[in-house]
Homo-oligomer: A and B are copies of this chain.
Amino acid sequence: MAIRYPNGKRFNGNTRHTNQPSKNKYIKPVLHGGRGMTLEDELNESNEYYLSQGTAVIHKKPTPIQIVKVDYPRRSAAVIKEAYFRRASTTDYNGVYKGKYIDFDAKETKNKTSFPLANFHKHQVEHMRVCEKNGGICFAMIKFVSTDELFLLKASDLFYYWDNQFKGGRKSIKKDIIEKLGYKIDYSLNPLIPYLDAVDKLI
């Protein structure tokens, strides 16, 4: 059974934020392109590179957690004993590049021919909409995992297809449309995902 969390992502027991798998259930981490990294890991590494070069300051926001119970054992750090995943009210990534506010979300799909819009939550799209209105640069990073292809789709294009689904349109964006409207990002070495090259075309 695939367990879905409020942010629409599966909890991955093997990310660097977690060092012990659950005793009850272990979910095998998803491997991509032979690298053993999720898109999130790849973006974090890319953002660290950009930061190290002074090119941009872009971070993933921490996953929001609702804390219910905390223990304070003697002589050691506080231990959270009961907490729940909360739904994020924004996108996952933001920061500053060339004086511009950058805001985006990254989504993977196993679908080979289209990107299902259900990968986005309404509040994430609305967040990008109001960020754009305030002069931010917003986009989606979409990865087709079966072919390891990555595209940057600017928010205005996403908004068009998002809104269109409520007017009887498709509930997904066909891959050939993403290939046409989006910017293909080829994996590189430093950074792994040179997505700011595509952002340069938006600003």
Contacts and interface: CB of A to CB of B under 8 A. Distances in A.
Contacts of A72: 3, 22, 24-25
Contact of A80 (B82, B94, B95, B136): B82
Given A59-B90, A80-B85, A19 B134 contact: no
A128 to B, nearest CB: 10
A54 B129 CA distance: 11
Interface in A17-72: 17-20, 22-25, 51, 54-57, 59, 61-72
B68 A65 contact: no
Interface footprint category on A: 35 or more
Report how many copies the assembly holds: 2
A134 B96 contact: yes
A99 interface: yes
A29 B176 CA distance: 55
A161 interface: no
